Amino acid sequence: MTDGQDWAQWMQRHGPALLLYARQIVHDPALAEDAVQEGFVRFWLHRRKAPEPLGLLYAAVRSAALDSMRRRQRRNPREQAVARPEACFDVAAAQRESSADVEAALAQLPVEQREVVVLKIWGGLTFTQIAQAIGESVGTSASRYRYAMQKLATLLRAEVPLE
């Protein structure tokens, strides 16, 4: 198998989850796509040296997304004033009513917890891989996930109408 085929397979398999993850950081679909592409290139150059390639992939996308946010914060304030906010969730999922509730609940979580939930549920990462991606310990990653899931359960139960 050639590197080009490997590249395409990695992107096909992990691309949607990486995009969702990046969108949680930058809150802009176009910037998220750029961050995934940039992070993927960073990852691809070092993938064979990584003990946990998937964790390194998410770490690279996270880093690219954070770099993108920093660049955006340094831009001219007029550019920020005319920027149009976009939805920060999967377009197909946003069309379903329940996804709006999930998105709203996710938005209420602290950034650190939301990040771990996206990596775990949509990214399919282990806590070891999550820890590598976010630069925290495995225990911290697991705790953030547990607290986030408890909060989401409470928030989503509150959204369910009583009949």
Tokens representing 110?
């602290």
User: What integer is the mean pLDDT of 81-92?
Assistant: 43
Structure confidence at residue 143 as a pLDDT band (50, 70, 90): very high
**Tens-digit pLDDT profile for residues 98-135:** 667 778 888 899 999 999 998 998 888 999 999 999 99
**Residue 83 three-state SS:** coil
The 10 Å Cβ neighbour count of residue 145 is 19
Q: What is the percentage of the chain residues whose pLDDT exceeds 90?
A: 41
The 10 Å Cβ neighbour count of residue 126 is 16
Structure confidence at residue 84 as a pLDDT band (50, 70, 90): very low
**Residue 1 three-state SS:** coil
Q: Determine the pLDDT at residue 79.
A: 55
**DSSP code for 86:** -
- Ranking 40-49, 50-59, 76-85, 114-123 by mean pLDDT, the lowest is 76-85
pLDDT at position 30 over 60: yes
The 10 Å Cβ neighbour count of residue 131 is 22
| Kind plus residue range of the DSSP H or E element containing 106 | helix 97-108
pLDDT at position 27 over 50: yes
Q: Determine the pLDDT at residue 144.
A: 93
Complete domains list, the chain, with CATH: 3-159 (1.20.140)
Q: What is the mean pLDDT of the chain?
A: 80
Q: Determine the pLDDT at residue 7.
A: 78
